[in-house]
Amino acid sequence: MKNTVIYLIGFPGTGKYTIAQQLSAMSGAKLIDNHLINNPIFSVIEQDGIVYASEALWEKIREIRQIVFDTVRDFVPKSFSLILTNHLADGDEDDVEIYHQIESLALARGNHLVPVRLFCEPEELYRRIAMPQRAERYKITDADYARRHFHQEQPLNISHPNLLDLDVTHLQPADAAQAILHYVARCGIPPDTA
């Protein structure tokens, strides 16, 4: 790929980071995972996946996100493709703003934007959330919290010509990544020939 921003959006446990790693390996795109932004704060407060950050701490994370996005806009060559990840919920004003920041970032860089909403059946999602290795990256590991809260949420409703909805319940990460890359090609985005 060239000049492309793939934005993986999904609930915790859908495999955003793992799929993004596969996409990066297959395409050479630079990975900017949401935990790259969150974890400078989460590591300081020793986020344990069960106790959640306060609004004041989320404000610090918003500041870090803006610095990262400004750096990408101003210093990362525009020909580089990017993969970003996040959990964005419909009806959440902050999440809508984050999505618009990504749209603006892609536009400022002259990049093609491909938003990808990842879906996973609830019981599989809860099983994945409880995996202990998630704690190493300060990710949510409380499946009971997810059961109580995520069933009320819907992924951010997006209107974009390149939007892909992908059910990853039964897909291996490499297969999901391959499906996304095939979709990007079908969108008419030219491959990187450099």
- The model's pLDDT over 49-101, given as tens digits with 9 standing for 90+, comes to 555 667 888 899 999 999 999 999 999 999 999 999 999 999 889 999 999 99
Cα–Cα distance, 25 to 8 (Å, whole number) = 15
* Domain ranges (residues) in the chain: 4-186
User: Cα-atom radius of gyration of the chain, to the nearest Å?
Assistant: 16
pLDDT at 55: 82
pLDDT average, residue stretch 113-130: 92
Contact 1, 81 (CB under 8 A): yes
Contact 169, 124 (CB under 8 A): yes
**Helix then strand then coil, % of the chain, to nearest 5:** 50, 15, 35
pLDDT greater than 50 at residue 194? no
pTM here is 0.90
pLDDT at 45: 79
The confidence band for 38, taking pLDDT boundaries of 50, 70 and 90, is confident
pLDDT average, residue stretch 38-57: 73
How far CA 7 is from CA of 23, 58, 91, 166, 183, in Å, comes to 11, 21, 19, 13, 13
pLDDT in tens, 143-156: 887 887 777 788 89
The confidence band for 191, taking pLDDT boundaries of 50, 70 and 90, is low
Averaged confidence pLDDT in the chain: 89
Contact 86, 7 (CB under 8 A): yes
pLDDT at 44: 82
For domain 4-186, the question of CATH label 3.40.50.300 is answered with yes
